[in-house]
A and B are shown apart, each in its own frame.
Chain A
Amino acid sequence: MSLRVLVGCKRVIDYAVKIRVRPDKMGVVTDGVKHSMNPFDEIAIEEAVRLKEKKIAKEVIAVSCGPTQAQETIRTALAMGADRGIHVEIPAKEMEKLEPLHVSKILAKLAEKEGAELLIVGKQAIDDDSNATAQMTAALLEWPQATFASKIEKTDGTLLVVREVDGGLETIKVKLPAVVSADLRLNEPRYATLPNIMKAKKKKIVKMKPADLGVDTTAHFEVVEVCDPPSREAGIKVEDVDALVSKLKEAGRI
């Protein structure tokens, strides 16, 4: 049984960049700033490519929602071994208002359209830390979900997934088709070889709009303000618990 795998990847500000809040305090500076693929999505792509190498998957499709530059992210996936790409075009201005729910609806529609049997995404994006897309997509598709995966094994028509949860490691069995979200220790993404980087240019990327999938991207949230976290103030040492309690009372905290 060879699976068709759909992998979602997001173009985010590179993890090494120092983020600056925009002067209008409605977002962060993105112009001219280095972007790359969300690290957890790299792990997702790597896992899908490994499944293909193990002959568990027959095709890996990389999908990204975003402006034109999202194609660079898709090509990174192609250079790592994905077979083809889908670019769901979202104009740059609308990117800020794009929510996990919109992406989930898009991915759900694509999974159905492409006949995918496995959808893998990174557990969260490092820009919004939502950790919601995998879960909502599974709900929309009515597929089982295995989130925070640190190991995936295939056994007959099911997947055995080890999940990293607060209490430790949890192993679950999910029937296919399923949604999986990749956690940090699932694998270490490969570096693309130069021949594959050049070959990626020739692989197909299909473009479409959310409307083509019947998805409405009207925002449900409105950003009120974006600001830096308050700088950490110096602490003080107290003698004992009584002093602690009285200090907290003084500061009006209790």
Chain B
Amino acid sequence: MWATPRMKYLSRSFGTLCRVNVQCRSLVTTTNSAQVIEQHQFYNEEQQKLQNAIKKLIDKEINPHVDEWETAGMWPAHKIMKLFGQAGFLGINKPVEYGGLDLDYKYQAAFNEALGGICAPGVGMGIGVQTDLTTPALARFGSEYLKREFLAPSISGDVVSCLGVSEPDAGSDVAGLQTSARHHGEDLIINGQKMWITNSWQADWICLLLNTSAGPPHLNKSLVCVPMKTPGIHLTKMIDKLGMRSSDTGQIFFDEVRVPAKNIIGEEGKGFTYQMLQFQGERMAMALSGLEPMKMCIQETLDYIRERKAFGQPLLNNQYLHFRLAELETELECLRSIIYRAVELYVHGEDITRLASMCKLKVGRLTREVADSCLQMWGGMGFTNEILVSRLCRDLRLFSIGGGADEVMLTIICKFMGTLPVPPKKNKKFIT
């Protein structure tokens, strides 16, 4: 049979005593020096050390178990969140008073990119929800009380959180969501439902976007921290997904759920704006997290077709294949460049809505192209669940859908280009 890619690097290391963790199917890639220079130059020494530490944690506590979590359809969120919390990885760019390290965004970017080394993107997604989706607005706009109650334990990894924005009838159309609350004394009473919620089955609290008053749809919403054990919250089903199968995705019903109004993050009515801000970080996080999987895809495929023979020679000898891999490698490098460029601007406080949308659009499209092209090169083996590439095909397909579908990204970019059609004005003078 063909030599498993994982064996490749053992020949270089310390003889028979190599104990380096043999991960699921991803090998620690034998990089050539050219690739190594680029990534090294972008991150500083501490950021690289952070990435090395994350990689060690992943190699030790996560990758050896991902196959079993994928089969079970559930990752152990509390256990993993606690490990990350103890290592200080969950509050990288969050305030020190609540257990964070208040480092600049580039450290957070280094973290997001390193999460891509998890052989089951579903797990990385679950962790990323906590660091980049549920806590940024809370950290920036939340009251002292909310930060102590919800932010601090999220940073320490003692609780698991989820983000409640999407609904069965409102995904891309965030402004059109229907979950609402009425005021009742000092409380809010919430009714509605949320769909596609990552971590929902294991979460201790949800960062919920909902309507809190009547009024224009961009000005009547609030972000609210709601404990998942509050009476009236029901989870109905674990959604059976094509990919990201180790991630628990649920549908949540809110039936007269009572929560104090002081659980509103920041100002009431500003929820939509806060969520739009959170989206930029989410999109960058997704883009960054796509880089490592694509790199692994290309490297593993390269190693496989170097060994796999057909018609008397290695598949790699076919120009079509090594040229195709070179094309994919080039595209990956281009995507890396725009992502790093956006990161730098974000670090300097610039509004990166346009670039972040481009990064998100491109990562969604490129991961599909890379995974699909690579899978083809694996032939029959590619069509099995024994290969990382086939899991990445399924998992990374989400990138064009979740976190803002390609179509939404395109709309945003068109807005910047000034190409969206202007709706016709109602002409009142049309009476002779």
List A residues at the B interface (Cβ < 8 Å): 15-20, 29, 31-34, 36, 39-40, 72, 75-76, 79, 124, 126, 129, 183-185, 188-189, 191-198, 201
Which residues of A are found within 8 Å of B315, using beta-carbon distances?
A: none
Q: Which of A15, A188, A198 contacts B14 (CB 8 A)?
A: A15
Pair A16/B33 contact, Cβ less than 8 Å: no
The interface residues of chain B lying within 8 Å CB-to-CB of A197 are: 46, 49-50, 53
Among residues of B, the one whose C-beta sits closest to the C-beta of A126 is: B14
- Pick from B82-90, B268-276, B368-376 the stretch touching chain A: B82-90
With the chains together, A184 CA to B15 CA distance in Å?
11
Known contacts A72-B45, A191-B60; A198 and B19 CB within 8 A of each other? no
> How far is A188 from B36 in the complex, measured between Cα atoms in Å?
26
B252 at interface, CB cutoff 8 A? no
Given that A18-B30, A195-B101, A198-B101 are contacting pairs, would A33 and B36 also be in contact in the complex, using a CB cutoff of 8 Å?
yes
**A17 surroundings in chain B (CB, below 8 A):** 12, 30-31, 33, 36
Please, could you name 29 A-B residue pairs with CB atoms under 8 Å apart, sorted by A?
A16-B28, A16-B31, A18-B12, A18-B30, A32-B33, A32-B34, A32-B37, A33-B36, A34-B33, A40-B14, A75-B45, A76-B49, A79-B49, A126-B13, A126-B14, A184-B17, A184-B19, A189-B56, A191-B52, A192-B49, A192-B52, A192-B53, A193-B86, A194-B53, A194-B88, A194-B89, A194-B92, A196-B88, A197-B50
With both chains docked as a complex, state the minimum distance between the C-beta of A168 and any C-beta of chain B, in angstroms.
Answer: 15
- Does B101 lie within 8 Å of A32, measured CB to CB? no
Q: Please, which residue of chain B has its CB at the minimum distance from the CB of A124?
A: B14
A39 touches B53 (CB 8 A): no
Interface residue from B33, B52, B86, B101 paired with A29 (Cβ < 8 Å): B33
- Per the CB 8 Å criterion, the residue count for chain B at the interface is 35
**A198 and B33 contact, CB distance less than 8 A:** no
A32-B14 contact, Cβ under 8 Å, with A75-B45, A184-B19, A198-B101: no
Question: A-B pairs with the 6 shortest C-beta distances?
Answer: A191-B56, A194-B88, A191-B53, A18-B30, A193-B87, A32-B37
Contact in complex: B36, A201 (CB < 8 Å): no
Residue of A nearest to B45 (CB): A72
Q: Which residues of A contact B17 (CB under 8 A)?
A: 183-184
Q: Does B103 contact A (CB under 8 A)?
A: yes
Q: A17-B33, A126-B14, A189-B56 are in contact. List 13 more A-B contacts (CB 8 A).
A: A17-B12, A17-B30, A29-B33, A33-B36, A34-B31, A36-B52, A75-B49, A184-B14, A185-B19, A191-B52, A192-B53, A194-B103, A197-B50
Name the residue of chain A whose CB is nearest to the CB of B55.
A191
Docked Cα-Cα span, A98 to B103, in Å, equals 39
Complex formed: what's the CA distance from A201 to B31 in Å? 28
Find the A residue at minimum CB distance from B57.
A191
Which chain B residue has the least Cβ–Cβ distance from A34? B36
Q: Of the candidates B29, B45, B46, B87, which one forms a contact with A16 in the assembled complex, judged by CB atoms under 8 Å apart?
A: B29
- In the complex, which residues 7-28 of chain B have their Cβ closer than 8 Å to any Cβ of chain A? 9, 12-14, 17, 19-20, 28
Bound Cα distance from A188 to B101, whole angstroms: 27
